[in-house]
């Protein structure tokens, strides 16, 4: 219920590493509420909200939307949900995102998953996706990869040091990858 302490999982990994795909399986198996930061931002673009055009420009450039915008969207979804288990996909993308979340939400993640995938594989998957995303073109993918390496890897390292990181080799069949995900949620079966 809403009164219980939230159980928070961050899902990290480069563009096309399979975060969304594995999150769907985690939701089915462990009953989490899935919050994709990218999807929340794309929804703001679609509904022409106050920040829509700035978010669109930022995503086209593969850059990171200001923390207060993203954290506010995530917080609203957490407050609206009657679930207390959250799978936060594609966030935090920088140390600034992380610090902002911890300050505004007042909580740290219980678990952090990191999908480790070679760049060539990520590029191939994103170019094959064909869902009309404005950032799924080779120029933007290159920028997304640079931003990921420079800003997201420090977050990964932070949680590794804290002993919260579950690093998963993200190449192979989706079901094989999910078998590596399961141990992170031992005791979370619904
Ligand atoms: N696929 C999946 N698993 C596979 C497997 N094992 N073998 C072969 N193919 C596999 O998968 C990508 C594709 O690969 C799919 O076609 C899938 O079928 C296939 P997916 O599960 O979609 O990967 P995912 O990691 O979710 O890739 P995504 O492109 O969504 O990751 P990004 O992190 O790039 O995108 P996100 O939506 O999180 O962010 C987009 C942009 O929003 C960012 O670049 C940034 O500009 C902005 N943003 C912020 O500013 N702040 C935020 O907090 C979040 C986003
Ligand atoms: Mg995704």
Domain total in the chain: 1
- The ipTM of this complex is 0.99
CA of 86 to the centre of ligand 1 (A): 18
Give the residue from 119, 131, 111 showing the smallest Cα distance to 171: 119
What atom of ligand 1 comes closest to residue 173's alpha carbon? 6
Domain membership of residue 104 as a residue range: 7-181
The angle that helices 119-129 and 138-147 make with each other, rounded to 10 degrees, is 140
Could you tell me the CATH number of the domain that includes residue 141?
3.40.50.300
Rounded-to-5 percentages of helix, strand, coil across the chain: 55, 15, 30
Residue 48 binned pLDDT confidence (cut-offs 50, 70, 90):
very high
CA of 15 to the centre of ligand 2 (A): 7
Residue 4 binned pLDDT confidence (cut-offs 50, 70, 90):
confident
Residue 187 binned pLDDT confidence (cut-offs 50, 70, 90):
confident
Q: Determine, yes or no, domain membership for 126.
A: yes
Residue 129 has pLDDT above 90, yes or no: yes
Q: Residue written as tokens 């909200």?
A: 49
Q: What is the mean pLDDT of residues 38-63?
A: 97
Q: Determine, yes or no, domain membership for 155.
A: yes
Question: What distance in Å separates the CA atoms of residue 166 and residue 11, rounded to the nearest whole number?
Answer: 10
Q: Determine, yes or no, domain membership for 94.
A: yes
CA of 104 to the centre of ligand 1 (A): 25
18, 72, 146, 172: which to mutate for ligand 1, most atoms within 8 A of CB?
18
Q: Determine, yes or no, domain membership for 174.
A: yes
Residue 2 has pLDDT above 80, yes or no: no
The pocket around ligand 1, CB under 6 angstroms, is made up of 13, 15-21, 37-38, 41, 58-59, 62-65, 70, 90-91, 93, 125-126, 129, 135, 144, 174, 177
Q: What is the mean pLDDT of the chain?
A: 96
Residue 3 has pLDDT above 80, yes or no: no
Q: Determine, yes or no, domain membership for 125.
A: yes
Give the ligand with the smallest distance to the CA of 122: 1
Residue 1 has pLDDT above 50, yes or no: no
Q: What is the mean pLDDT of residues 164-172?
A: 98
Q: What is the mean pLDDT of residues 35-39?
A: 98
């Amino acid at each position: 219920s809403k009164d219980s302490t939230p159980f928070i999982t961050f899902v990290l990994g480069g563009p096309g590493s399979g975060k969304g795909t594995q999150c769907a399986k985690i939701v089915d198996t462990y009953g989490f509420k899935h919050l994709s930061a990218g999807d929340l931002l794309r929804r703001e673009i679609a509904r022409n909200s106050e920040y829509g055009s700035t978010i669109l420009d930022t995503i086209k450039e593969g850059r990171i939307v200001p923390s207060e915008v993203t954290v506010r969207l995530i917080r609203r979804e957490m407050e609206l949900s009657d679930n207390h288990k959250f799978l936060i996909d594609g966030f935090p993308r920088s140390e600034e995102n992380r610090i902002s979340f911890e300050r505004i939400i007042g909580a740290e993640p219980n678990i952090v998953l990191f999908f480790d995938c070679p760049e060539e594989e990520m590029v191939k998957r994103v170019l094959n996706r064909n869902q009309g995303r404005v950032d799924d073109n080779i120029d933007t993918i290159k920028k997304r990869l640079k931003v990921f390496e420079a800003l997201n890897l420090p977050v990964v390292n932070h949680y590794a040091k804290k002993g919260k990181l579950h690093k998963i080799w993200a190449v192979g069949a989706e079901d094989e990858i999910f078998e590596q995900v399961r141990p992170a949620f031992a005791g979370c079966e619904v």
